[in-house]
């Protein structure tokens, strides 16, 4: 069915594959057609109508995003009728829109604003239909302002197609049509996982993260506070995009320098606690396997699911509460870090934890929610005080006037700043799995994983659900129950894929020992707190950068991180010890289904 | 008043041996009957006027093991009430028409999408369905028909929204292509026809295309039901030959003081007195799903227009920009002109906007809002302004 058809666009002949949309065909000729409801990651909606074009012989204009080409189609993209329609559509959207652009954090990156400037909509052609702005601030992570919504449904489609969550929906009809939640409930009361994927695809400022920039500046400027900051693996491969660097340009050292210049007292790394997570989670997996295989304990839940992704955690609490026992009890790296910052770090540095403020920089909006969970206070204080997204950090750096591109790279502080290549790959789908296997295989067999340069290729890449297996042979005597066992693992990213995978496990169609799930497409590198826009090319570039960062690290296995060895010797004793259970492990809560 | 209009009596004719007609068609063969439909010139009676024979032919020729037949009984156009009359008086012909379609295209399941307010017709229809199902089973045809109820949205009469609504989704039009004939209910090829269309296919099976074609004009063949209301001397449902002029219509139905006739409901056109004589009701002139509203000189055309616009503002599905916002702007715009908050010339801006809505909206609703708007503004501008 790969036939080609002959068409013309503005008189220029073109041969394209059958089924190509007019919009994509026009791109091939560098003919720009404006769009709003269209997004490369999503199915076609065809509702904003800004992309209308003329097809000779048709009675009306057609939406170029939704119309496939046909043999001999003659397409015009720039006629009086089309221009008039586009201008009208923009004017109409603006009559509904809250046009207080200067007070909107999406100003300058708003697709509606860009088009409005292009079409010089400075006169009000029609009557104002604007309603008062009354943003929903109920969620710790996501702020929803209907007065800025253009009803393009990109968020609704994201939530349904990519995430399978359906927290957002279109409701009412006619003039009352609006994007909202089930029964118009506040965002904090519905199935929203706080993943922020909707934010990444919102063309305007209707959905943005709750920002905590001022709170963090206040803490930095407060001389009585010792402010520590941790940076997640995926931030370093995306932050540069906000400073005109190409996607995938790594800025690890420059980011550290920028944070130091901003006045944080200690610049530390979530990668360090990612290594710690591997120790705790790997040990938990092995002990679950032992309980199941040796002790025959039927109550041991397998497969074990990873628990690093707070969007995924909230998803499973809402949708698959039966599977909560399968979740690793390990906190995420952010929360392990938080609990240890105000205990271990405070103790070592001789700081009173009540004078500490713990900030984290995350590619994620769900982390904002996670930090505010009531159970995340094992240090005796809120373990992580403020979570900033990559985007918020970029804004703060811009406020300081520092030019990131010319900064000299600097190193993380110690303690809790040293990390390995196994930690940085947490930022990509399959990364936790790869890091866990690198360590667990070596613990069990005493040998390195049998993959060239430690690169476990089968668990990498963008496939929605990945599967792999690894045979354990010639194991060490203390692990003899694992001799000959085929370790089966699976990986899913994007909650729609996660849903399919968990359902298959529930239906007993598949069986695994260990399953990694990340809420966002591509893993954290495609997180809801990352720079906008997002698309496959950008996510691919970030992923390549993550694996490059891994390869250049001198140590690439979590259990070899000297600062990890040190914390077990000095503070935690051993993985899954009593103390680590108190500080580094957690529990989960069943939640409503809407 | 001289009565010149040719009344016909096909749809409500008392006796029709549907079973025998079906047998005839089976003997004749599927392709031969499709040819009959094509020859008859029958166009859909729901308003859009797509040739019915062609629709059935496409579905028949589309490869799929599952196909559906859907009867659009959502009758939501303001001023239309002829489907209700058919379902009340001739329900057998409707369900047999659907069985006929199912036989021709190879569908085993069908649905009647019934306007929520017509729930009281449910029992009657179920009885007709049972009767039909039993008879066709004896003929060796396997076809199951079910009732689905609408929930009151006008837009669910548009065929793609109707199918969305049937599938349990929000009643919103989807992009065309794909058309329901290729990708309809649950993604399967689907015949969607109006109640009256199905009855007409049975009539063609009975009298043949040659006889059927004798009625009407070259572009508008057959007869049609009209729902007549407003300032008229007699109101109700009338079966008339197509192709009459508005003048002829008004002479028969008007109250002697007719100022304008709204042909085709809110989404149709307003014909002023000066155009009565040279406006034909039919596909060569103004096509209509049957709604004919007669206005005499006591009516304010401003009120009429405002009323239609209030209707559209509520009944737009709300998904596409030109229609969702355009309807609000047209309504608020004429109000502003009436109240002198906007100059008369603002009406010209609104006419341009109505034009954009016609060309850029996603579905027939948004595309037809401009019909009433333009024809009323252009013909009764002084009533809007003063
Ligand atoms: C806004 C809108 C409302 C409609 N409402 C109806 C309706 O109530 N009944 C109907 O038969 N067709 C209605 N239609 C037309 C249908 O979309 C479709 O064309 C028709 O059901 C096809 O059947 P036909 O070919 O037999 O007319 C509507 C179309 C639009 C755009
Ligand atoms: S034209 Fe109106 S009814 Fe049709 S899709 Fe657009 S908003 Fe919905």
The interface pTM score, or ipTM, of the predicted complex is 0.95
Chain A residue closest in CA terms to B356: A85
Tokens of B277: 């004589």
CA distance B276 to B99: 40
Q: What is the mean pLDDT of residues A372-399?
A: 98
* Residue A582 Cα to ligand 2 middle (Å): 57
Q: What is the mean pLDDT of residues B273-297?
A: 94
User: pLDDT (tens digit, 9 = 90+) per residue, A7-48?
Assistant: 999 999 999 999 999 999 999 999 999 999 999 999 999 999
* Residue A127 contacts B where some CB pair is shorter than 8 Å: yes
Whose C-alpha lies nearest to ligand 1, atom 9?
B75
CA distance A419 to B121: 73
pLDDT given for residue A110 in this prediction:
97
* Residue A324 contacts B where some CB pair is shorter than 8 Å: no
Percent helix, strand, coil in chain A (nearest 5)? 45, 15, 45
Q: Which residues of A are catalytic?
A: 281, 284, 308, 328, 367, 370, 375, 524
Query: Which of B153, B164, B169, B173, when mutated, tests ligand 2's pocket best, judged by the most ligand atoms within 8 Å of its CB?
Result: B173
User: Is the pLDDT score of B8 beyond 90?
Assistant: no
**CA B155 to each of CA A147, A150, B115, B158: distance values in angstroms, whole numbers, following the listed order:** 25, 21, 11, 6
User: Is the pLDDT score of B133 beyond 90?
Assistant: yes
Query: C-alpha dihedral over A435, A439, A441, A444, to 10 degrees?
Result: -160
Distance of CA B249 to the CA centre of its chain: 19
Residue B217 and residue B284 in contact, taking contact as beta carbons nearer than 8 Å: yes
Total CB pairs under 8 A between chain A and B: 112
User: Is the pLDDT score of B218 beyond 90?
Assistant: no
**CA B209 to each of CA A184, B21, B203: distance values in angstroms, whole numbers, following the listed order:** 55, 14, 9
CA distance A91 to A115: 10
Distance of CA A272 to the CA centre of its chain: 20
**CA A65 to each of CA A37, A51, A269, B182: distance values in angstroms, whole numbers, following the listed order:** 9, 7, 43, 20
Which DSSP string corresponds to A67-116? -B--TT-EEES--HHHHHHHHHHHHHHHHHS---GGG-TTTTS-HHHHHH
CA distance A271 to A523: 15
A85–B329 C-beta distance less than 8 A: no
Query: C-alpha dihedral over A216, A219, A221, A222, to 10 degrees?
Result: 170
Outline where A173-234 has alpha helix (H).
Answer: 197-201, 213-221
CA distance A452 to A360: 34
Residue A359 and residue A215 in contact, taking contact as beta carbons nearer than 8 Å: no
| Closest ligand 1 atom to Cα of B367 | 31
Query: C-alpha dihedral over B10, B13, B18, B23, to 10 degrees?
Result: -50
Q: What is the mean pLDDT of residues B25-33?
A: 97
Whose C-alpha lies nearest to ligand 2, atom 4?
B363
* Residue A57 Cα to ligand 2 middle (Å): 22
Structural domains present in chain A: 4-78 (3.10.20.740), 90-209 (3.30.70.20), 227-272+334-406 (3.40.50.1780), 275-333+419-584 (3.40.950.10)
pLDDT given for residue B47 in this prediction:
87
CA distance A288 to A60: 64
Select from B272, B215, B367 the least CA-distant residue to A62: B367
Largest CA distance in chain A: 81
Outline where A470-572 has alpha helix (H).
Answer: 495-506, 536-552, 562-567
Residue in A85, A127, A173 closest to B317 by CB: A173
User: pLDDT (tens digit, 9 = 90+) per residue, B134-181?
Assistant: 999 999 999 999 999 999 999 999 999 999 999 999 999 999 999 999
B360–A88 C-beta distance less than 8 A: yes
Q: Chain-wide mean pLDDT for chain A?
A: 97
Residue A221 and residue A213 in contact, taking contact as beta carbons nearer than 8 Å: no
pLDDT given for residue B1 in this prediction:
41
Residue in B325, B359, B367 closest to A129 by CB: B325
- Contacts of A534 by beta carbon, 8 Å cutoff, 6+ apart: A41, A200, A201, A526
- Greater confidence, A507 or A294? A507
pLDDT given for residue B2 in this prediction:
45
User: pLDDT (tens digit, 9 = 90+) per residue, A283-301?
Assistant: 999 999 999 988 888 889 9
Structural domains present in chain B: 18-212 (3.40.50.11540), 223-296 (3.10.20.600), 301-385 (1.20.1440.230)
pLDDT given for residue B4 in this prediction:
62
Q: What is the mean pLDDT of residues A236-261?
A: 97
* Residue B98 Cα to ligand 1 middle (Å): 16
CA distance A415 to A432: 23
User: Is the pLDDT score of A398 beyond 50?
Assistant: yes
User: pLDDT (tens digit, 9 = 90+) per residue, B348-381?
Assistant: 999 999 999 999 999 999 999 999 999 999 999 9
Residue in A45, A49, A96 closest to B322 by CB: A49
Q: Report whether residue B193 contacts ligand 1, using a CB cutoff of 6 Å.
A: yes
Residue B145 and residue B111 in contact, taking contact as beta carbons nearer than 8 Å: yes
Q: Chain-wide mean pLDDT for chain B?
A: 96
* Residue A553 Cα to ligand 1 middle (Å): 66
Select from A569, A218, A578, A234 the least CA-distant residue to A423: A234
Q: What is the DSSP letter of B161?
A: H
- Contacts of B114 by beta carbon, 8 Å cutoff, 6+ apart: B73, B74, B87, B121, B122, B125, B147, B148, B149, B150
User: Is the pLDDT score of A411 beyond 70?
Assistant: yes
User: pLDDT (tens digit, 9 = 90+) per residue, A171-201?
Assistant: 999 999 999 999 999 999 999 999 999 999 9
CA distance B386 to B82: 36
Pocket of ligand 2 (CB under 6 A): B 155, 173, 316-320, 323-324, 361-363, 365-366
Q: What is the mean pLDDT of residues B342-347?
A: 97
């Amino acid at each position: 069915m790969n036939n080609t058809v002959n068409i013309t666009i503005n008189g220029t002949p073109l041969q394209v594959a059958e089924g190509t949309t007019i919009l994509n065909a026009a791109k091939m000729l560098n003919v720009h057609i404006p769009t709003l409801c269209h997004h490369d990651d999503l199915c076609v909606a065809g509702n904003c109508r800004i992309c209308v074009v003329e097809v000779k012989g048709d009675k009306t204009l057609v939406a170029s995003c939704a119309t496939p080409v046909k043999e001999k189609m003659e397409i015009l993209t720039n006629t009086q009728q089309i221009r008039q329609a586009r201008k009208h559509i923009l004017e109409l959207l603006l009559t509904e829109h809250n046009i207080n652009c200067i007070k909107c954090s999406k100003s300058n990156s708003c697709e509606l604003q860009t088009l409005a400037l292009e079409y010089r909509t400075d006169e009000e052609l029609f009557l104002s239909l604007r309603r008062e702005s009354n943003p929903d601030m109920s969620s710790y992570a996501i702020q929803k302002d209907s007065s800025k919504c253009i009803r393009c449904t990109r968020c609704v489609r994201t939530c349904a197609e990519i995430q399978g969550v359906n927290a957002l929906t279109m409701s009412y009809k006619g003039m009352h049509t609006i994007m909202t939640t089930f029964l118009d409930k506040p965002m904090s009361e519905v199935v929203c996982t706080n993943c922020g994927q909707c934010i990444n695809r919102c063309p305007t400022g209707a959905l943005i993260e709750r920002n905590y920039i001022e709170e963090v500046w206040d803490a930095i400027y407060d001389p009585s506070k010792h402010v520590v900051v941790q940076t997640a693996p995926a931030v370093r491969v995306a932050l540069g995009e906000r400073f005109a660097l190409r996607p995938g340009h790594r800025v690890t050292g420059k980011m550290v320098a920028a944070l130091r210049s901003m006045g944080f007292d200690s610049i530390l790394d979530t990668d360090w606690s990612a290594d710690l997570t591997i120790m705790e989670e790997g040990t938990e997996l092995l002990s679950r396997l032992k309980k199941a295989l040796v002790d025959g304990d039927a109550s041991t839940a397998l497969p074990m699911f990873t628990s690093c992704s707070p969007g995924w955690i909230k998803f499973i609490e809402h949708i698959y509460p039966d599977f909560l026992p399968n979740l690793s009890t390990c906190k995420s790296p952010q929360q392990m870090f938080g609990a240890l910052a105000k205990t271990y770090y405070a103790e070592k540095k001789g700081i009173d934890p009540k004078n500490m403020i713990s900030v984290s920089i995350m590619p994620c909006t769900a982390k904002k929610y996670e930090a505010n969970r009531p159970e995340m206070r094992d240090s005796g204080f809120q373990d992580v005080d403020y979570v900033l997204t990559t985007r918020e950090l970029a804004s703060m750096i811009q406020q300081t006037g520092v030019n990131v591109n010319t900064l000299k790279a600097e190193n993380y502080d110690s303690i809790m700043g040293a990390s390995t290549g196994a930690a940085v790959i947490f930022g990509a789908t399959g990364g936790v799995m790869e890091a866990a296997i690198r360590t667990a295989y070596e613990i069990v067999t005493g040998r390195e994983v049998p993959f060239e340069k430690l690169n476990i290729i089968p668990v990498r890449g963008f496939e929605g659900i990945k599967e792999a297996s690894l045979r354990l042979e010639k194991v060490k005597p203390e692990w003899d129950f694992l001799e000959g066992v085929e370790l089966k693992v699976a990986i899913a990213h994007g909650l729609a894929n996660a849903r399919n995978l968990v359902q298959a496990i529930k239906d007993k169609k598949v069986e695994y020992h260990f399953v990694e799930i990340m809420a966002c497409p591509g893993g954290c590198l495609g997180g809801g707190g990352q720079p906008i826009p997002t698309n496959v090319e950008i996510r691919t570039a970030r992923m390549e950068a993550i694996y490059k960062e891994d390869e250049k690290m001198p140590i690439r296995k979590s259990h070899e991180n000297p600062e990890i060895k040190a914390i077990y010797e000095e503070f935690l004793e051993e993985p899954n010890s009593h103390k680590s259970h108190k500080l580094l492990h957690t529990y989960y809560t069943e939640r409503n289904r809407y | 008043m001289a009565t010149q209009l040719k009344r016909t009596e096909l749809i409500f004719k008392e006796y029709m041996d549907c079973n025998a007609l079906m047998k005839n068609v089976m003997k004749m063969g599927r392709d031969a009957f499709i040819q009959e439909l094509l020859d008859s010139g029958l166009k859909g009676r729901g308003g859009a006027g797509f040739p019915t024979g062609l629709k059935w032919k496409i579905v028949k020729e589309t490869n799929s093991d599952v196909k559906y037949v859907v009867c659009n009984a959502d009758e939501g156009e303001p001023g239309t009430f002829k489907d209700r009359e058919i379902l009340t008086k001739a329900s057998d012909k409707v369900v047999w028409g659907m069985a006929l379609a199912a036989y021709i295209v190879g569908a085993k399941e069908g649905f009647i999408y019934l306007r929520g307010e017509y729930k009281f017709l449910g029992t009657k229809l179920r009885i007709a369905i049972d009767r039909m199902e039993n008879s066709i089973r004896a003929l060796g045809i396997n076809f199951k028909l079910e009732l689905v109820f609408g929930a009151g949205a006008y837009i669910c009469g548009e065929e793609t929204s109707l199918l969305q609504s049937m599938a349990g989704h929000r009643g919103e039009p989807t992009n065309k292509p794909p058309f329901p004939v290729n990708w309809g209910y649950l993604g399967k090829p689907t015949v969607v026809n109006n109640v009256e269309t199905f009855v007409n296919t049975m009539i063609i099976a009975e009298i043949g295309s040659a006889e059927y074609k004798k009625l009407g004009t070259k572009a508008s063949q057959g007869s049609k039901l009209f729902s007549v209301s407003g300032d008229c001397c007699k109101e109700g449902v009338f079966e008339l030959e197509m192709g009459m002029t508005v003048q002829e219509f008004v002479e028969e139905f008007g109250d002697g003081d007719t100022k304008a006739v709204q042909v085709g409901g809110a989404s149709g056109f307003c014909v002023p007195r000066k155009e009565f004589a040279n406006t034909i009701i039919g596909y060569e002139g103004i096509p209509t799903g049957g709604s004919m509203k007669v206005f005499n000189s006591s009516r304010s055309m401003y009120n009429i227009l405002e009323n239609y616009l209030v209707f559209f503002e509520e009944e737009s599905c709300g998904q596409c920009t030109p229609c969702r916002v355009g309807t609000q702007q047209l309504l608020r715009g004429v109000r502003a002109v009436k109240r002198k908050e906007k100059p008369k010339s603002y009406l010209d801006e609104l006419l341009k906007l109505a034009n954009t809505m016609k060309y850029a909206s996603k579905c027939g609703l948004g595309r037809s809002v401009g019909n009433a708007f333009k024809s009323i503004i252009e013909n009764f501008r002084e009533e809007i302004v003063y």
